[in-house]
Amino acid sequence: EAGVTQFPSHSVIEKGQTVTLRCDPISGHDNLYWYRRVMGKEIKFLLHFVKESKQDESGMPNNRFLAERTGGTYSTLKVQPAELEDSGVYFCASSRDSGLAGHEQYFGPGTRLTVT
Amino acid sequence: AQSVTQPDIHITVSEGASLELRCNYSYGATPYLFWYVQSPGQGLQLLLKYFSGDTLVQGIKGFEAEFKRSQSSFNLRKPSVHWSDAAEYFCAVGARRTNAGKSTFGDGTTLTVKP
């Protein structure tokens, strides 16, 4: 089966611009997560979807970030307007929605966002 | 709040030598525990996981980890390192709950393998 895919792999934008990141989870995985790694620090949780519903968005840094998962399939993460501190690698992960398997997250390769 | 500490930012070992990467966690109870590896240009790959039962867990690529409740640790080990093991390694904890949820990660440990 295909793994988690993310697009684009790298994005360079100027401060104040808008960027939209996309994540396609593994087919059949109801859980979808967004994480971010800034400046080589720890990978931080942003939010968690179960199908199309936001289960936990406690990690979203501010209202410049908007995540959607229409139809419960792929997800987008929009940053508008982008700031310098938004630079980092954005990871998407997905997992099944069944017992302990739900805790096994499969990660995509990440999108490296550079804001200049 | 749960947290994870990986005390070693960077470790260098010779090929064929043994390896131990340290991980300590803070959590109110016994969490779910994970080790991931990230090779350059790749996503994070799950090496192994601990949910319950035997505290010594085996993973892929010859890795194992031991959960020690008294030390709040989940150290990763490999008896003989291969050059292809050079990568960044992340320890993570997940809340013990019935439905899926977020993981909390450490800062990562970069492993360099000398020939």
pLDDT at A102: 73
Please tell me if residue A45 touches chain B, with a CB cutoff of 8 Å: yes
Task: List C-alpha distances in Å: B8 to A112, B89, B104, B109.
Answer: 24, 11, 17, 6
Please tell me if residue A81 touches chain B, with a CB cutoff of 8 Å: no
pLDDT band at B28; cut points 50, 70, 90: confident
Burial code (b: 16+ CB inside 10 Å, e: under 16) for A49-84 equals bbeeeebeeebbeeeebebebeeeebbebebeebee
Domains of chain B are 3-114 (2.60.40.10)
Residue in B36, B42, B99 closest to A102 by CB: B99
Lowest mean pLDDT, pick from A6-20, A87-101, B57-71, B78-92: A87-101
Q: Is 80 exceeded by the pLDDT of residue B62?
A: yes
Domain spanning A5-98+105-115 has what CATH number?
2.60.40.10
Average pLDDT score over residue span A5-13: 96
Rounded CA-CA distance A103/B93 in Å is 10
pLDDT at B95: 80
Q: Which residues of A touch B92 (CB under 8 A)?
A: 43
pLDDT at B99: 66
- Tokens representing residue A48 in the block: 């968690």
pLDDT at B43: 87
Residues in chain B: 115
Q: Nearest CA of chain B to the CA of A53: how many Å?
A: 13
pLDDT band at B98; cut points 50, 70, 90: low
pLDDT band at B30; cut points 50, 70, 90: confident
> Which residue of B lies nearest to A3 if distances are taken between CA atoms?
B43
pLDDT tens for A32-91 read 999 999 987 889 999 999 999 999 999 999 999 999 998 889 999 999 999 999 999 999
**Annotated domain spans of chain A:** 5-98+105-115
Quick check: B103 and A45 CB within 8 A?
Answer: yes
Average pLDDT score over residue span A93-100: 83
Quick check: A110 and B43 CB within 8 A?
Answer: yes
pLDDT band at A1; cut points 50, 70, 90: low
Average pLDDT score over residue span A103-115: 93
Rounded CA-CA distance B42/A3 in Å is 12
